[in-house]
Structure formats: C-alpha cells, structure tokens
A and B are shown apart, each in its own frame.
Chain A
Amino acid sequence: MARRRLTKVLPRIVMWLVRIFFAVVLAFPFYWMLITTFKRNTDLNNLKNNPFLFNESPTLDHLKLLFRETLFPRWVLNTMGAGLLVVIITLLLAVPAAYALARLTGEWGAQLGIGVFLTYLIPPTLLFIPLSKVVSFLGLQDSLWSIIIVYPTFTIPFSTWLLMGFFKSIPRDLEDAAMVDGLTQWGAFVKLMIPMSTSGILTVVIFAFTLVTQEFVYALTFISSAAHQTVGVGVPTFLIRGDVYYWGSLMAACLITSLPIGFLYNLFLDRFIEGFTVGAVK
C-alpha cells in the first residue's frame, strides 16, 4: 500500500524538482541582472561580501547614470523607430505576398512559399560581407537606415510563411460568396481576408518588432558610431568606457531591455514555433 502511494507521488516530486532546477538555471542571469542593478559599487566590488545579499543599502545610482549620462535612452528610441519602420515595410510586402501565394497561384505558389521560407535560413554571417558593400553603395553606412532596409530580408520570409498558413485556414467558400456578391478579388482581400486574419497580422507585427530588437550581427557590422546604435549592440559594445565595465548600469540596461521584449515575444511564441514545425506535427 505504502509502496503504491510512493510510486504515485515520486514521479510528481521528480517532475517538480526538474521544473525548479531548469527554471532556476535558465532564469538565473536575469535574477542576477536585477540584484546587480540595485547594488552599490562598493558592495559589488568587495569580495568578502556575500554576492547574493544586499550587504549595503540598495541604490538607484546605476539607473540614474544609465538614463542621464549614457546613450541608452537614445538607443531605445533608435530601436523602437527602426522596429516600427521594419514592421511597416514587412506588412506592406508580406501580407499581399502571403495571400497571393496561398490563394491565387495554385501549386507553384506553395512551392514559391517554401522557397521564400528557405531564404530565412540564410544567416546574417553569410550575407554581412556582401551586404556591407551594398549598404555603402546605397550611402547608408553608419546610418540607422541601413538596418531598416536590411532587416525586412529576414522578417518578410518568416512573416509570409506564417501568414500563408493563416490565409489557407480561412475557408475558400467565404471568399467565393463575397465575390458572388460583387466584390473583386482585390476587394475580397482587403475587405474580407485582412479583417479575418487580424490575429495573424498582429503576430507578424510582434515578430518583426522583436526580431529587430534581437538582431546583433547586422547592426554591429553596418553601424559604427555609438549614437546611431540599437539597444542590442549599443549596450554590450558602447556602454564600456575604456576597459572599465560599469556592471551596475550594464545590468540595469540588460534588465530593462530583456524583460519587455521577453514578455512580448512570449505571448506569441507558440505561433512562431508553428512556423517551424509545419510537416512534423500533425
């Protein structure tokens, strides 16, 4: 009897231990950012202190330094501005393309759709060298515009792929009925299909935006002056004066950047994953 109870309870205990272990390990750096943000330098730099505790009273100095004396606020604005424009370009190009490939072009549209998705696999580390030449040819070196032009190269393929799935899931009859009632194909797209796929479009907006905030390689390659940087590159490369790391302010910047982006992305992650698992999950 006792043994039977044990075999029932034991797996549950093991499950909880596994969950807690992974949650602690995976979230630890963010906890560490939090605690470092509010610690005084004298506390951080004293090796005798227990680093897990506040040995001196907490401080807001690192946050003040970050917002008053560094380019951090500027980087946040740069990132948001670039993100907004990339989202607009992505929507303008990906929404019609996805509809056309899902509905108007038959069998080879689907093939072309897969082809578009495959371009998502071509990594920045293969394209950054030729693109740096393209960027300087366009006269955009060291300008935020360089990444606004280049980022849609990875947001469009993924967004088109996701939206194709959305458009395919809307019954064809609805569209046909609307067209019998006198709408043109374009009218059906604008007045029926777009309103019906709002959640898909919202997903694409979030993705394009979070992918912009996460990108590192292109921004590092194309933009050289600190004032034009995005958060993802500015914080790790320009928030260091000489060889001195201001860990308090650095970790404050990390925390402020990760949590909102992480939260936003988290809301839509399942859709993102669906994009990868087509064909493997039925």
Chain B
Amino acid sequence: MSTWPIHPLRGGVHPPQCKTLSNQSPIHSVPLPKQLIVPLLQHLGRSTEALVNVGDYVLKGQLIADSSSPISAAVHAPSSGTVSCIGPQPYPHVSGQLLEAIVIDTDGLETWCPLEPVPDFYAASATKLLDKVRQAGISGLGGAGFPTVIKLTPKAHQPIKTLIINGTECEPYITADDLLMREKTAQLMLGIDILVHILQPEHVLIAIEDNKPEAIAAVRHALDSRRYHVVALPTIYPSGGERQLIQILTGQEVPSAKLPAELGILCQNVGTVVAVHDAIIEGKPLISRITTLTGQALQRPMNVECLIGTPVAHLLELAGIQQAKRGRLIAGGPMMGFTLPSAAAPIIKTSNCILAATDAELPPPPPALPCIRCGDCAEVCPANLLPQQLHFYALGDDHPQLQAHNLFDCIECGACAYVCPSSIPLVQYYRAAKADIREQEQKQIKAEHAKERFEFRQERLRLEDERKEAERAARAERLAKTKAEQAKKATQADAASHKADAADDELKRLKIAASMAQVALRKAQKQLEAHDTEALKVQVEQLRVAADYAKQALELASAAMPAPAPAPSQPAEDELKRVKIAASMAQVALRKAQKQLEAHGTDELKVQVEQLRISAEQAKQALTAATATATTPTVADKPVKTELSAAEQALKKAKIDVAMKRAALRKAERNAADPEALAALQAELTHAEQSLAELN
C-alpha cells in the first residue's frame, strides 16, 4: 500500500478543534420520542408530497412522501405510529419559518415494514442497486443534502475514475463521521464495495484528517485485501469541502460552475456510504443518522444515532442541557452552521451537529469595523477569491462586478470572516449578495416568461381579430351577391310582367275595337233601317266584315292569353254565403218592420211583419241546412266538444263554488261568527263538495 501524494491546500485556517468534547464516548441510542416531525423537504431539490393521510397508521420504514421530480429524495416513516398532522411545522432553518411536515405519534412498537435486502449485491445490476438507493431516499449526509442517486448515476461520457470517500470532517466540534468510521467500519467498507461495483472507478481514496487517529486505524484495519487508499490529511479547515478535497488529493481544480464528475471524480460522505450499505444489504431506507450533540452548555456531549424527525429539544434533554448556561443554539458547526431559532425543530437528513454553546465559548460577534485592507482574508480563502473586493462590491450592490469576481465560487466556509481583524461578517455579505443576484435572475426569468406570454396573447388576439374581419368581409360579400341576384331576378320578373301587361293591353284594345265595330255596325244598321240607301247597305256590309274581323282577332288574342286560374270558388261555399246573406237580409228586414210596427201598429204592418218573419225563418233554416251540408265534418265533432266543455264548465263551477264556500266558512270562523251561521256555512260547503264529487 503506497502512500498517495498530497497537494497541500492553499489557504485555510486552524480554528480550535474542540472535538474531544464529544468523541470520548461511543454512539448513544436515543429513547423514542413521543412525536416525530418529518419535514417533506430534507434535501437539495424539489419538495416531496405526502402519500399518507392524517390518521393513517404507518410502519417503520414505510414510504410516506415522494416526488415525481428526479432531483428529490423520498421520505420514510422513522418509526411506527399514527400520522397525527400534516402541515407547517418547525424546521431547522435560520429564518425560523415553518415547513410542511408529517407528524407521527409513535406507538413505541417500532414495527418494521417488510424489507427487501440485496445481500449479494455483486450479483445485482448497477441499475437495480441505484433504484434501491433512490427508493431508500438517500441524500448527502455531509451537509449539502444533494440526492445521492443523481451523483451515483454514471454518465456515458463522464466515467468516474476516482471515487473519494470523504471522512475529513474538518469543521470544529463535529465528530459524527469520526465515531461512524470507528464504530461502523465494516458497514462503511461494504458500502464502498457497493459504490465500486456501481461505478467501477480506477482509484478509491478514503480521506481522513490526521486528527482522527482512531478512525484512520479502524478503517486501515478493516481494509483487508481491498485496494483502497486511506489518505491521512493534515488537519486544516476547510479541507473537507468537496472542491478543496479534490484539489488536495488530485491537484486538480474543479472549474468554476462545473461539477467534479466532469473531471471523472466523485465525492461521497462516509455517512452517505453507510446509508447506501443499509439500503442495499439490509434493505432499510434512510430513517436515522448520527448526529453530534456538543457544546459546553451540555453536561454530556455525545454522538447519537437518532431518528429523522426527532425534535432537537428531545436530544438536548438527553445530553443534559443547562438552559442557564446556554447561549446560541447552532445547527452544524461553528464555522458554517446557522443559528437555530427554536429547539422544536427536528433533526433532518442533513443535520450533522447540534451545538449548544455558552456565551463564553461562542461570544456574539463584536461590532464590525471598517476594512483596513490587510489582505488576510485573501490569504486564507481556499477558493482563491478576493474576499475584500467582494465585500466592497457587496456593499455597493455591484452585481456585475461581484459575478466578475466569481462570487458564486465562494463556498461560504467562513475562513475570511474568522481571520478578519475588523470582525466584518463577510460571509453574511456574500450570502445576501448571492440571494440578491439569484432573486434578480429569478425576476429576469419571470419577466421573460411574462413577456413571452404577453406577446403570445397579443398574437392570438390579432389572429382572432383578423379571422373575425375576414368572416365579416365574407359575410358582406355574400350579402352583396344575394342582393345582386335578387335584383337580377326582380328585373326578369318585371320584364315578364311587362310582357303580360302588353298582351293584356292588346287584348283590351282588340276588345274595344271589336265593340266599337259592333256599335258602328249597329248604328249603321239603324240608319239603314231608317233610310235604306245603297250606300248605307254597302257601308253596313263593310262594317259587318270589319266587326267580324275584330271579333276574330279578339278571339285569337283571348285564346293566346293564358287561361286565368280557375277561381277557387266552390259552389257549395258560394251557395252558403249567398244563403247567409239572404238570411241576414231577411233578419234585417224583419227587424225594420218590427220597429215600424211598434211605431204605427197597423194591421197591414202586422201581416207584413208576419210574412217577413216566416221568410226570415225560412232563410235561417236554409242556412242551417246549407251549413250542415257544407261543413259536415266540423259539425260532426262540434257538439261532442260543446258537451264536454259543458261538463267541464260544470265541474269548474262546482270547484269554484266549493272553494268559495270554504273561504267563506274560514272567514266566518276567523271573525268568530255565531255557531248557527257557521253550521249553515258548513252545510253549504258539504253540499257543494258532494255535488263536486258527483260531477267528478
């Protein structure tokens, strides 16, 4: 086993380690808390969605939340129990904001769901193993919490040559990985074997800082015949950063805005590797992790293996928190961690340390003084940035310059702020500036999106208008066409009627001519009779010829004219009308005579009236007869109808009668009329009701 060459880290600081506080005792187990708060988002990426409902009983290890997004990690029930709430719950975040979480009331039975381990992982395909890792909901346990399966999925054009197992744990106070390497060495080794089986790298490097001799010894001892390199690194902060570790181990710098995978390098935290082992060999999803409980406010600082969702307060009690001494409560280490606003927040997959420090241990930062441009920050920056330049640009909100000075390569390790003699909270400036720039970018993206939608809408409205305009034009054209056609037809009809008129006129003219010829003939005949001269005779003869000629022409013309449509007069109807008129005239005459009779009262008139009456009656009879013959069918069903309607009317009348009687009775009752009247009304009503019933 040759020693692996090391490229010392440029920059870095040596803060007090304070690791002996918590690494003196083995990993403790935690009594099961009454409630587990399992947030739906415990990783870097998309939030998951709850798959269970309030009131459901869940088994330990059961899938309770998942997401369709690939950049996400499934969430499992850390213990068996009943889901008591799904909603906003405390979350370990510096803002103290709540986040959707599933709360499980534990039943203390710890009943596992059925597990599907793959003990012989060498026989399994990489795809199957990756699927198991995905189902186990493993995200990086080192701190960032990126879903592990995405990192492990090999890309065809980027084969992984170097696999780095990160056990450096460079941040002060934290000893979770140290204890894990000491106590779970066998699982770690098997976990590395699984990753090697999936990725087939050329080299495997296990990087451990030299302040953890026990861990190094344990790992070296567990290696057996494996050809992995255990590299003991000189202790310096922040050698455990992914990019820094790669630089130390390979001498290669990961380019800005690129991933280590593009250099063929993959880094995995030791905790993540053990989680992969548990998922494959034991089939267990990620439901617990090792967390360091440390700080001088604790009586018993220690490492615990606790379930995800365990409230921080529960753990602090276990470690003997002295509330009076407690200063700030920090999630993570003193360099990169953040202040926890509340101890009610749960442990999540990325919680590697809870630091309950006294005020003497971590004093509140002294007030910041102006930068004196000493340049210490630039010397310690492990990312080769210019912290003081970035500070000035951040003060001036100069986003383009910040980006030009590679603000986004800052890993927020805090080394610059640690060495700053003016106590400037540099990292806070960078975080705020990064957030501002990200927000601006988001706004820009949103604006672009809104613009696209707006323009699309404008285009749609324009097309719609155009379509409507076209339709309107088409309609107008159609209308004009129909009008033109109608006009054409009208002119044709006019012409036709003109023709008919002409024919009519001709006929009339001929008629007149014929009749005039006749008249002339008759006159001449009369004259002939009176005088009888030769000349007159000749004239009469001529006139007769002319009249005959006119008659013939008239007859010809009449024949040529279309026969007039036969009149729709039906003799029966005509007859009926005639009779009707006669009848009404007779009636009128009768009435007149009657009036006269009343006025004068002579016998003559009486006789006349009598006669008229008879004739009127006759006319009436004739009319009835005529009506009967003319409209037999109507007459046939009319009586039935009248009969029916008579019955109906009777019924209606009876009904109305009943209703009225009833109303009268009620009115009387209301007005408290005397009992006799009431009884009478009652009798009447009964009678009416009876008659109605009969009719019905």
Q: Do A and B form a real pair?
A: no
A residues touching B (Cβ–Cβ < 8 Å)? none
B residues touching A (Cβ–Cβ < 8 Å)? none
